[in-house]
């Protein structure tokens, strides 16, 4: 028979062994995860850093033998040229107006339409939803001509309004689907409680449903903004006046017939990324899960 | 404070009749309980009073106002939902103040009411918390608080305690009863729990399949159920039902079932003569089956010998599962009973408190 103390020591040893094995396994797992994440970060961030680096280079060279991110003789000349010698601020302003308006109008239309699709039963509801989905299946190029014809006939050629309508056509159906799906998860009892508390249906929508749908609204807003902000093809067809150019059109002007001012081009790329980054940072606070937690017994 | 009157109210969902021809008068300051199994139409009735469901036929009055076409916000009612329905994005204070803000109450008045309700419910320290930071019981109190601050004419409560654990439920049951005494407001309370119905309400409305089965004070319903459904639904353990035949022997009325035959008091069952030699349902509550050992001067015509199948000691009493012939039934007897599983035991049927129901209609024979 093994004495009690010896038995305990053997047990402790076994326990310690298992413990250290588990610890080692967790460490390896964590290291693997970190490695993958670091590689992913490098893949995502490196190109942007290269663009920053090119924008800081003196001259217009795209390629360099140096791998350093801050080039020798780094200068802000390209930024100065872009802002003061080119129409960059006008392009940026045009893009901002069109994108922000697309977001606001798109969200207003989508938020209300999606609520109707989510909460009420009406003739054509199903068909309407399917139709909205179908519009997303058409390649954007296919819509160019019909939208162009409509815009010309409505005298909206070369106008902000025309651009905003055209972009909304693309983003609203997606936003409706997204928001409808989210509204479906908001319990009806919350609205009923508000109705009994003294709210009318519109107040219930604005005070209860919309605040709870903030994450979905943020995503829909981001999507609409990105659609309008980065769009080139539609703008190329619908805008002829240089003073109306959005930045993707304006960028083309940075390319001459024989040369491209890569330094200025890169500086512009960095600057147009800033509003998008700010928007992502701002909206990230809304992109929280579980906003409706706690309202109802789960 | 107001009375509520439902007149021939019917609610249909497509072809399904959820509530059928309900007529009900709820007195001012009354605590009325709507009770019944799932799908009996009790919640739909409440929701119609709230204005959350349209009425297919009939009229609903709150006070003297016909409210059929009045939206919920103008009915001056407050409702507590089964799953609380607290606004997740607002803290407790704002959850409670929401209704008052919408009605444009002055801020000091809102503040006073919210703090007063929070004090009554013991949630003053939680006013800055969001619902997700509260326990089930606390959320329930906030939901109640949200209703109280409104000082409405009528409180509507849709199974407000059903999501709480058993201990908390008992505690909240007593608190709600106290709250009613304090607020002196009309309360319509929906539950499927017959214990809540018996302990809380001034009157109970028992519903089944969209039909009101019986309306009355708790003990009136318990002692004099109108039909077998009400008799079986109210009371725990439920009333025992046995198929039996009524016999008239000389001047005596007897009920004969498979396994026993006991004498009935004729004065209690005046209409029984119509059912002589016919099949009836014999009903007796578990507490009306007495242990012979504790009933020494029992009438021999009421004694039944039965097999003891199972005994369930509950502390203060024992539930004894008995069987005789085809029939099985439960007796609720003294904790010191000598009945043991696998033995036979003599019990006494207190037929003074027994019930008879028509076999076809299940209506009470009295």
- pLDDT by residue (tens digit) across A141-194? 888 888 888 888 999 888 999 999 888 888 899 999 999 999 999 999 999 999
> In this predicted structure, what is the pLDDT of residue A152?
87
How far does A19 lie from chain B, in Å, by closest CA?
35
Domain coverage including residue A202: 87-284
> In this predicted structure, what is the pLDDT of residue B308?
95
Give dist(CA A251, CA A254) in Å, integer. 5
Residue A265 in domain: yes
Residue A292 in domain: no
> In this predicted structure, what is the pLDDT of residue B172?
84
List every span in chain B annotated with CATH 2.40.50.140. Answer: 240-365
Q: Which residues contact B58 (CB under 8 A, 6 or more apart)?
A: B6, B7, B8, B9, B10, B21, B22
**Cβ contact (<8 Å) for A294 and B78?**
no
- Check residue B40 and report its DSSP letter: S
> Smallest Cα–Cα separation from B81: which of A245, A188, A278, A155?
A188
Cβ atoms within 10 Å, residue B307: 16
Strands B327-334 and B344-349: unpaired
Site of tokens 């062994």 = A17
> Smallest Cα–Cα separation from B227: which of B237, B236, B216?
B216
- Nearest neighbour of B87 by CB, restricted to A203, A208, A297: A208
User: Is A61 in the same domain as A137?
Assistant: no
The pLDDT > 90 percentage for chain A reads 39
User: Is A140 in the same domain as A255?
Assistant: yes
Contact residues on chain B for A296, CB-CB shorter than 8 A: 83-86
**Cβ contact (<8 Å) for B85 and A190?**
yes
Note if the bond before B88 is cis, omega within 30 degrees. no
Give dist(CA A187, CA B230) in Å, integer. 34
Residue A167 in domain: yes
> Smallest Cα–Cα separation from A96: which of A210, A219, A216, A250?
A250
Helices (H), B188-312: 194-200, 218-223, 228-233
Q: Look up the CATH number of domain B4-233.
A: 3.40.50.300
**B147-201 tens-digit pLDDT:** 989 989 999 999 988 888 888 888 888 888 888 888 889 999 999 998 899 999 9
- Nearest neighbour of B73 by CB, restricted to A187, A200, A290: A200
B54 touches A: beta carbon within 8 Å:
no
- Residue B291 burial by CB count (10 A; 0-12/13-18/19+): exposed, middle or buried? buried
**Cβ contact (<8 Å) for A198 and B102?**
yes
| Share in percent of chain A as helix, strand, coil (round to 5) | 75, 0, 25
A200 touches B: beta carbon within 8 Å:
yes
User: Is A192 in the same domain as A258?
Assistant: yes
**Cβ contact (<8 Å) for B71 and A195?**
yes
CB–CB of B320/B348 below 8 Å? no
A75, A109, A136: which is the final residue of a domain? A75
Q: pLDDT at residue A289 above 60? A: no
Residue A289 in domain: no
User: Is A45 in the same domain as A185?
Assistant: no
Residue A200 in domain: yes
> In this predicted structure, what is the pLDDT of residue B34?
96
Residue of A nearest to B130 (CA): A294
User: Is A142 in the same domain as A217?
Assistant: yes
User: Is A118 in the same domain as A45?
Assistant: no
- Nearest neighbour of A294 by CB, restricted to B52, B72, B86: B86
B139 touches A: beta carbon within 8 Å:
yes
Give dist(CA A2, CA A14) in Å, integer. 16
10-residue averages of pLDDT along chain B (366 residues): 91 94 94 94 95 95 93 93 91 95 94 92 92 90 92 92 84 86 91 91 95 96 95 93 92 90 86 88 95 90 94 94 91 93 94 93 90
> In this predicted structure, what is the pLDDT of residue A64?
64
E strand or H helix that includes residue A151: helix A140-153
User: Is A57 in the same domain as A126?
Assistant: no
User: Is A100 in the same domain as A160?
Assistant: yes
Q: What is the ipTM of this complex?
A: 0.85
User: How many CB contacts within 8 angstroms connect chain A with chain B?
Assistant: 88
DSSP A5-72: HHHHHHHHHHHHHHHHHHHHHHHHHHHHHHHHHHHHHHHHHHHHHHHHHHHHSSSS-S--S---SS-T
Q: Which of B50, B76, B89 to mutate to test the interface with A (most CBs of A within 10 A)?
A: B89
Contact residues on chain B for A290, CB-CB shorter than 8 A: 132
Residue of A nearest to B52 (CA): A192
Site of tokens 């199948």 = B309
In angstroms, the Cα distances linking A61 to A56, A151, A181, B297 are 11, 41, 49, 116
CB–CB of B291/B336 below 8 Å? no
B83 touches A: beta carbon within 8 Å:
yes
User: Is A7 in the same domain as A107?
Assistant: no
A50, A75, A100: which is the final residue of a domain? A75
- Nearest neighbour of A291 by CB, restricted to B89, B98, B136: B89
> Smallest Cα–Cα separation from B96: which of B113, B81, B72, B119?
B113
List every span in chain B annotated with CATH 3.40.50.300. Answer: 4-233
User: Is A206 in the same domain as A234?
Assistant: yes
A55, A75, A95: which is the final residue of a domain? A75
User: Is A63 in the same domain as A94?
Assistant: no
Q: Identify the weakest region by mean pLDDT among A60-64, A205-209, A242-246, B334-338.
A: A60-64
Q: Which residues contact A174 (CB under 8 A, 6 or more apart)?
A: A136, A220, A223
Domain count, chain A: 2
Residue A138 — pLDDT band, cuts 50, 70, 90?
confident
Residue A297 in domain: no
Helices and strands: H and E segment counts in chain A: 13, 0
Q: Which CATH class is domain B240-365?
A: mainly beta
Beta bridge partners of B208: B211
User: Is A71 in the same domain as A118?
Assistant: no
């Amino acid at each position: 028979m093994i004495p009690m103390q010896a038995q305990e020591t053997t047990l402790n040893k076994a326990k310690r062994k298992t413990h250290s094995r588990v610890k080692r396994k967790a460490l390896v797992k964590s290291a693997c995860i970190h490695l993958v994440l670091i590689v992913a970060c490098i893949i995502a961030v490196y190109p942007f850093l290269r663009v920053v680096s090119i924008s800081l280079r003196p001259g217009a060279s795209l390629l360099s033998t140096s791998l350093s991110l801050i080039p020798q003789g780094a200068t802000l000349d390209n930024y100065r040229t872009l802002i003061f010698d080119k129409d960059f601020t006008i392009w940026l302003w045009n893009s901002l107006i069109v994108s922000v308006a697309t977001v606001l109008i798109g969200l207003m239309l989508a938020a209300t339409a999606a609520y109707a699709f989510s909460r009420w039963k009406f003739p054509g509801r199903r068909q309407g939803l399917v139709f909205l989905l179908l519009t997303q299946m058409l390649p954007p190029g296919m819509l160019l001509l019909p939208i162009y014809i409509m815009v010309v006939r409505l005298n909206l050629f070369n106008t902000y309004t025309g651009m905003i309508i055209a972009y909304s056509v693309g983003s609203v159906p997606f936003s409706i689907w997204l928001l409808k799906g989210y509204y479906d998860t908001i319990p009806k009892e919350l609205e009923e409680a508000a109705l009994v508390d003294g709210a009318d249906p519109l107040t219930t929508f604005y005070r209860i449903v919309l605040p709870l749908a903030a994450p979905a609204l943020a995503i829909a807003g981001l999507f609409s903004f990105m659609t309008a902000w980065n769009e080139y093809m539609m703008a190329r067809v619908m805008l002829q006046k240089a003073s109306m150019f959005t930045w993707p059109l304006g960028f083309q002007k940075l390319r001459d017939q024989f040369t491209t001012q890569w330094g200025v081009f890169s500086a512009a790329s960095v600057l147009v990324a800033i509003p998008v980054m700010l928007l992502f940072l701002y909206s990230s606070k809304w992109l929280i899960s579980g906003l409706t937690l706690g309202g109802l017994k789960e | 404070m107001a009375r509520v009157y439902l007149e021939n109210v019917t609610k249909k969902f497509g072809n399904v009749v959820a509530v059928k021809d309900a007529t009900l008068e709820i007195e001012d300051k009354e605590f009325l309980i709507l009770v019944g199994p799932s799908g009996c139409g009790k919640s739909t009735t409440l929701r119609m009073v709230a204005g959350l469901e349209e009425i297919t036929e009939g009229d609903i009055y709150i006070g003297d106002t016909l409210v059929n076409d009045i939206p919920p916000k103008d009915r001056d009612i407050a409702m507590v939902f089964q799953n609380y329905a607290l606004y997740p994005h607002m803290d407790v204070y704002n959850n409670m103040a929401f209704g008052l803000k919408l009605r444009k109450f002055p801020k000091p008045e809102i503040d006073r009411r919210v703090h007063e309700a929070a004090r009554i419910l013991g949630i003053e320290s939680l006013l800055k918390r969001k619902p997700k930071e509260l326990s089930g019981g606390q959320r329930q109190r906030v939901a109640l608080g949200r209703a109280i601050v409104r000082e409405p004419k009528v409180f509507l409560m849709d199974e407000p305690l059903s999501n709480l654990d058993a201990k908390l439920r008992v505690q909240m049951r007593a608190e709600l009863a106290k709250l009613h005494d304090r607020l002196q407001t009309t309360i319509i309370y929906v539950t499927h729990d017959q214990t809540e119905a018996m302990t809380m309400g001034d009157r109970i409305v028992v519903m089944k399949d969209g039909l009101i089965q019986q309306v009355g004070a708790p003990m009136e319903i318990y002692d004099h159920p109108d039909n077998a459904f009400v008799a079986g639904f109210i009371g725990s353990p439920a009333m025992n039902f046995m198929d039996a035949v009524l016999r008239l022997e000389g001047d005596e009325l007897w009920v004969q079932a498979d396994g026993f035959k006991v004498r009935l008091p004729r004065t209690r069952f005046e209409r029984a003569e119509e059912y002589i030699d016919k099949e009836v349902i014999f009903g007796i509550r578990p507490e009306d089956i007495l242990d012979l050992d504790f009933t020494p001067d029992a009438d021999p015509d009421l004694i039944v010998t039965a097999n003891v199948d199972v005994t369930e000691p509950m502390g203060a009493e024992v539930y004894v599962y008995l069987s005789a012939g085809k029939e099985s039934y439960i007796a609720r007897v003294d904790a010191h009973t000598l009945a043991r599983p696998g033995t036979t035991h003599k019990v006494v049927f207190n037929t003074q408190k027994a019930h008879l129901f028509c076999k076809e209609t299940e209506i009470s024979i009295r």
